[in-house]
Amino acid sequence: MLEEADRYIAENASKTDPMYRGEYHFTPPIGWINDPNGFTYFRGEYHIFYQFNPYGSTNAAPMFWGHAKSKDLIRWTHLPVALAPDRSYDADGCWSGSAIVVGERLYLFYTGHYDRDGVRVQTQNMAYSDDGIHFTKYENNPVIGPEQLPEGTSAADFRDPYVWEQDGKYYMLIGTMETGAAKVQLYESDDLFGWRYKSDFLRSEEAGYCWECPNYVDFEEAELFAFSAVVFPAGDYAFHNYNSSVYALGEFDRESGTMQAGPFLEMDAGLDFYAEQILDRGEQKIMTAWMNMWGRSYVTSQLGHGWSGSLVLPRLLSVKDGTLLQKPVPTIAEYYKNEVRIEDRLSGTKEYEGVSGSVVHLKVTADVSASDVFTVSVFCADGVHTDITYDKTKGTISFDRSKSGIAVSYEPRERSKARVRTMPYAPENDTLVLEIFLDRSSAEVFLGEGELTMTSLSYNPVGADGIHFSSVGETALVIEKQDIIVG
Ligand code: FRU
């Protein structure tokens, strides 16, 4: 199955339509992707795996694990498909999971998903590799099956193992649910092969009905628990998408195997961010995620472009004074070209010479002490625009793609209607700092020091590369813009 998939990809990848493909965001050679998996660093290179249907641009097929590597997290090289759904325990999909390097060996842990006679079972499985390219599934898979589930826990929703090592012991988090509660379970191992159920790591009756894709990271200042929640309850502003990426800072008590953490916060307040995975390299904690969302229409798939899905620009995470900060990985700056710098005092609406493009980095520093509302509109052309607006009178920042070229459909309960997200925001000293990364059909917005991010797709006609600025009152502006050319 692996060879057949690789052959199919080699023969057909050039037939995909690149119109909406990001230049510097990871996209599949062909077919559908959702979650990033097995994000790791092995023998001097980053490796990313991903949920992959090579044969169609929807997820209506058993998932493979696609695979790519990179030296700098920007320029990726596709590798042969790593895992195929070719065993009885993963026949309906090799679902999400993580990687760990021990000695010279790269281990993958993933969920085997199968559905027989209407009974759906998910188990945890392992595969390993010594060259980082070819993987062998462990002969005694699954390493965790339904018999290792505590009473009342769902065997049908039991997935996405996240494995790490701490003080000589291996830990695994698995997302799951029980009637009326979502939770993540903790397992322990001394050798990666035998696993013991330890505890409910964290459990909540008020935080969605199932948790997927758990992550745990130890920052010096705090420990972080992140997960992707199916139908997380909406707040006044946060959690307005169908599903949500959630995190909480706190403390992991290894004796009891429980995490004390809270409050639950949204990892990214845009429209398209889910199933994040965090790679802990000691000093560097790097996060990637699926730049999309369940419950929506998938535009490139519908247009017949032969591919769907991409990953966010990887981000460095840190914790400062109790706040999680996200920054784009610094290697992206090596691809900045054609810098333009503008200073202005703006009232009304304006475009600036040299400030345009749909594959750009834009840094806007705006003194809003004498203005009420300030907007940066991107992907502009006749009648279309996507707006990032700071409204001082309301104390909010919003991302609005309701005037983009193609509307995305959404689940009825979705408060954002897949169009607008708004969050409370007050920049320090009335100085708004916006870093915006545009990449053909996506915009990632980092605010301030990275205390808030908003990531969204936006599909527009060819040539929608205008960038407009507008201010109600006078905004003192510094604009720095570069093209991003990966080549
Ligand atoms: C999250 C998710 C995971 C699952 C995978 C299947 O987006 O639903 O829980 O393992 O996608 O592709």
Instruction: For residues 344 and 212, state if they share a domain.
Output: no
C-alpha span between 252 and 287 (Å, rounded): 20
Final residue belonging to a domain, choices 295, 311, 328? 328
Q: Is the CB of 380 under 6 A from ligand 1?
A: no
- From the CB of 207, is ligand 1 less than 6 Å away? no
End-to-end CA distance of the chain: 32
How many Cβ atoms from other residues are within 10 Å of residue 312's Cβ?
Answer: 28
Q: How far is the CA of 242 from the centre of ligand 1 (A)?
A: 14
Full domain range(s) for residue 89: 2-328
Question: Looking at the structure, do residues 324 and 343 belong to the same domain, yes or no?
Answer: no
- pLDDT, residue 116, reads 85
- Looking at the fold, whether 248 and 385 belong to one and the same domain comes out as no
Both 319 and 343 in one domain: the answer is: no
Same domain, 469 and 392: yes
Domain check: are 61 and 137 in the same one? Answer: yes
Residues sharing a CB contact under 8 Å with residue 228, sequence separation 6 or more, in sequence order: 175, 211, 212, 213, 243, 244, 245, 246, 274, 275, 276
Are residue 419 and residue 324 in the same domain, yes or no? Answer: no
Residue 33 has a pLDDT of: 98
- Could you tell me the distance, in angstroms and rounded to a whole number, from the CA of residue 274 to the centre of ligand 1? 10
Any ligand 1 atom below 6 A from CB of 364? no
Q: How many domains would you assign to the chain?
A: 2
Q: Is 122 in the pocket of ligand 1 (CB under 6 A)?
A: no
Write the CATH number for 288: 2.115.10.20
Q: What is the pLDDT of residue 487?
A: 82
Residues 413 and 302 in one domain: no
Q: What is the DSSP string of 206-274?
A: SS-SEEEEEEEEE-SS-EEEEEEEETPPP-SSS--SSSEEEEEEEEEETTTTEEEE---EES--SSS-E
pLDDT of residue 276: 98
Residue ending a domain, among 307, 328, 349, is 328
* Ligand 1 and 111: CB distance under 6 A: yes
Pairing assessment for the beta strands 307-308 and 31-42 based on DSSP bridges: parallel
CA 282 vs CA 37, 390, 484: distances in Å: 19, 36, 29
Q: Are residues 165 and 238 in the same domain?
A: yes
- Tell me, using a 6 A CB cutoff, whether residue 360 lines ligand 1: no
> Residue 98 Cα, ligand 1 centroid: separation in angstroms?
12
| Ligand 1 in reach of 159 Cβ (< 6 A) | yes
Tell whether 128 and 185 lie within a shared domain. yes
Structural domain ending residue among the three candidates 294, 310, 328: 328
In this prediction the pTM is 0.98
Contact 195, 144 (CB under 8 A): yes
Q: Which atom of ligand 1 is nearest the CA belonging to 160?
A: 10
Query: Is the minimum distance from the CB of 378 to ligand 1 under 6 angstroms?
Result: no
Active-site annotation, residues: 35
Residue of 212, 215, 277, 296 to mutate, ligand 1, most atoms within 8 A of C-beta: 212
Q: How far is the CA of 423 from the centre of ligand 1 (A)?
A: 27
Query: Could you identify the atom of ligand 1 that is nearest to the CA of residue 97?
Result: 10
- The closest residue, in CA terms, to atom 9 on ligand 1 is 212
Q: Which atom of ligand 1 is nearest to the CA of 59?
A: 12
Q: Which two tokens stand for residue 464?
A: 């929608």
For residue 477, the domain's CATH number is 2.60.120.560
| Residue pair 137/125 in contact by the 8 Å Cβ criterion | yes
Instruction: Looking at the structure, tell me whether residues 262 and 409 fall in a common domain.
Output: no
Same domain, 321 and 370: no
- Give the burial string for 381-414 (b: 16+ CB within 10 Å, else e): eeebbbbbbbbbeeeebbbbbebbbbebebeeeb
Give the nearest ligand 1 atom to 35 CA.
7
* Per-residue confidence in pLDDT tens, the chain, 487 aa: 999 999 999 999 999 999 999 999 999 999 999 999 999 999 999 999 999 999 999 999 999 999 999 999 999 999 999 999 999 999 999 999 999 999 999 999 999 999 988 899 999 999 999 999 999 999 999 999 999 999 999 999 999 999 999 999 999 999 999 999 999 999 999 999 999 999 999 999 999 989 999 999 999 899 999 999 999 999 999 999 989 999 999 999 999 999 999 999 999 999 999 999 999 999 999 999 999 999 999 999 999 999 999 999 999 999 999 999 999 999 999 999 999 999 999 999 999 999 999 999 999 999 999 999 999 999 999 999 999 999 999 999 999 999 999 999 999 999 999 999 999 999 999 999 999 999 999 999 999 999 999 999 999 999 999 999 999 999 999 999 999 999 8
